Amino acid sequence: MFGFWTEVADRFKSNPNVIGYDILNEPWPANMYKDASLFFKPSKFDREVLFPVAQRAHDVVRAVDDEKAIFFEGAQFPDTQPFLGGKTLSLGFPDTPGGAEYANR
């Protein structure tokens, strides 16, 4: 997966029509049969699985392109719950994938 993002960033870094990279669109919380808590415990999948992937993806893209935005999404479920008018729970990322430098960019 990371070699792919190296190639994508290299190909589009000079393209003025590309504003950023969406690393994983609407990620789904792993295999619930291997570890059901990743699926049912809010923010656990984001914190334990998705955040390390986001950090690595950030480093790979930034090594090639340090100008464009990188979009990171938390898991669709259980962080977002569609009942009772919609409820969004806390994202499990303990920090910004790029570190504090990118927190308020």
Q: Which residues are catalytic?
A: 26
21 forms beta bridges with: 70
The pLDDT, as a whole number, for residue 7 is 96
> Token pair of 48, please?
């334990």
Domain that holds residue 84: 2-102
The pLDDT, as a whole number, for residue 81 is 63
User: Which residues contact residue 39 at a Cβ distance below 8 angstroms, ignoring those fewer than 6 apart?
Assistant: 29, 30, 32, 45, 77, 78
List pLDDT tens digits, range 81-105.
Answer: 666 666 666 677 888 888 777 666 5
Measured in residues, the chain has a length of 105
pTM of the model: 0.79
Provide the CB-side half-sphere exposure for 26 (13 A, CA): 3
Query: What is the tally of structural domains in the chain?
Result: 1
57 or 36, higher pLDDT:
57
The answer to whether residues 27 and 73 touch, using CB atoms and an 8 Å cutoff, is: yes
List pLDDT tens digits, range 42-55.
Answer: 788 888 989 999 99
Instruction: Give residue 65's pLDDT band: very low, low, confident or very high (50, 70, 90).
Output: very high
> Token pair of 88, please?
């969004």
